[in-house]
Amino acid sequence: MGAATAIQASYFIAAALFIFGLKRMSSPVTARSGIVWAGVGMVVATLITFLTPGMSNYGLMTVAIAIGGIAAWVTGRRVAMTNMPQMIALYNGMGGGAAAAIAAVELFAGNVHGPSVLILGVLGGIIGAVSFSGSLIAFGKLQGLIKRSFRFRGQNIVNLLILTGTLVAGAVVVLYAPGPVTLLFALALVLGVTMTLPIGGADMPVVISLYNALTGLAVAFEGFVLNNAAMIIAGTVVGSAGTLLTQLMAKAMNRSLANVLFSGFGETAAAGATGPAGTLKAIETADAAVMLGFSEKVIVVPGYGMAVAQAQHKVWELCQALIARGVTVKFAIHPVAGRMPGHMNVLLAEAGVPYDLIYDEAEINSEFETADVALIIGANDVVNPVARTDKSSPIYGMPILNADKAKNVIVIKRGQGAGFSGIENALFYLDHARMLYGDGQAKAAELVQAVKAL
């Protein structure tokens, strides 16, 4: 077998590892091993690239891999689950930037030949550069470095003009290569910034997922430029996974992608909205423990606040204490609870909650009516009943968990803080709802003691 055949065969193995790894990531039972499989695929693809005929600069390649590898290792170990979206934004931006850098180097060097490869190279470069600068802005917003959304009249027209300029520059590069390559990339980088700046921090997870899909596409296009099968396959896999994730998030929030990109969600929500009728009624830990401990069935609804409080271990301890008393306990997970799909599943898996106690919205929604208590921990928007009724609400039409239909509702949260959408929750004001104020972890720990003492 020649070297070239061995390289292609290794890329094929790497591609299979990416695809099966991704498949395994779709279930919490196999997700960890899925990440390992895909990681092994990446190691195979990277090592085999060193053997490609004509490859030089081994020193530089090794230094680049060492810098990237160490930075990823350190940040990956340190990052808190709640900061995962911004880390993904940063890593994703690097992927887009790498694709754009490949395009720039190859175009400057005049290495891209043939009209179709030239078009793919230029398109990949544009998409990669937009994804790079856009992801950095998304990172800045999620990290709280950029606090405002820069919105002004006619911004969509300005963006359209920059996009047109970028495409024209791209066409000139294709026709008269190398042409205005610097201008092309400068415009594409500016476009990523101006496209992302007006979008509210609240919509960033969807935007990151979109950029993730774009990065995949850019990498796949540059794979044609470098004639590298592993890049084409890995890019396609990332591109389609990102597209599916973007669709899933938009659908679970009942928003169109255009609405995410071109409207200021969450920024106007608080204004104009009149508060729900009724009053908030607090409950003491001891009383909440009695309600829970003497229930037949409790459905736990975790949300973003559980992640912030890192309350998952204490919540599971509480559930075990309830199960020991003969209470049936189930977890209800909304597809966009937390700040990324699967956020709650990962936390509950980390705490050791058996998978057969975890139900998604469609499976459990009809069961709330038979639950004695819906115990809501740091969830807000995903249980807000106005999504069903109030057409003027920004979350109208978003499928929600029917926690309000339970016989009693106990809500653990710190105070009057709104959720991600910035609106008040009518559920908290219902007659059968009680507020157990405090940090999620502290309150869950107190409940464990109180239930055990019953």
Task: Enumerate binding residues for ligand NAP (CB under 6 A).
Answer: 205-206, 249, 253, 303-305, 308-309, 336-341, 343, 378-382, 412-421, 439-440
Instruction: Tell me how far, at minimum, the Cβ of 337 lies from ligand NAP, in Å.
Output: 4
Looking at the Cβ atoms of 106 and 404, the one nearer to ligand NAP is: 404
At 49, which amino acid appears?
T
Residue of 361, 369, 328, 331 lying closest to 348 (CA atoms):
331
Distance between CA atoms of residues 169 and 230, nearest Å: 29
**Residue among 7 and 403 whose Cβ is closer to ligand NAP:** 403
Q: How far is the CB of 447 from ligand NAP (least distance, A)?
A: 13
CB nearer to ligand NAP: give 91 or 221: 91
Residue 344 CB, nearest approach to ligand NAP (Å): 8
The Cα 404–Cα 397 span in angstroms is 16
Residue 375 three-state SS: strand
| Cβ at position 12, least distance to ligand NAP in Å | 33
Burial state string for 40-75 with b = 16 or more CB within 10 A and e = fewer than 16: ebbebbeebbeeeeeeeeeeeeeeeeeeeeeeeeee
Catalytic site residue from 203, 287, 356, 381: 381
Nearer to ligand NAP by Cβ, of 178 and 335: the residue is 335
**Closest by Cα among 230, 221, 239 to 174:** 221
The least distance separating ligand NAP from the CB of residue 393, rounded to whole angstroms, comes to: 11
d(CA 441, CA 311) in angstroms, rounded, equals 4
Rounded distance between C-alpha atoms, residue 128 and residue 125, angstroms:
5
Active-site residue, 439 included: no
Cβ contact 434:410 at 8 Å: yes
Nearer CB in complex with ligand NAP: 14/411: 411
Contacts of 290 (CB under 8 A, 6+ apart): 454
Catalytic residues: 381
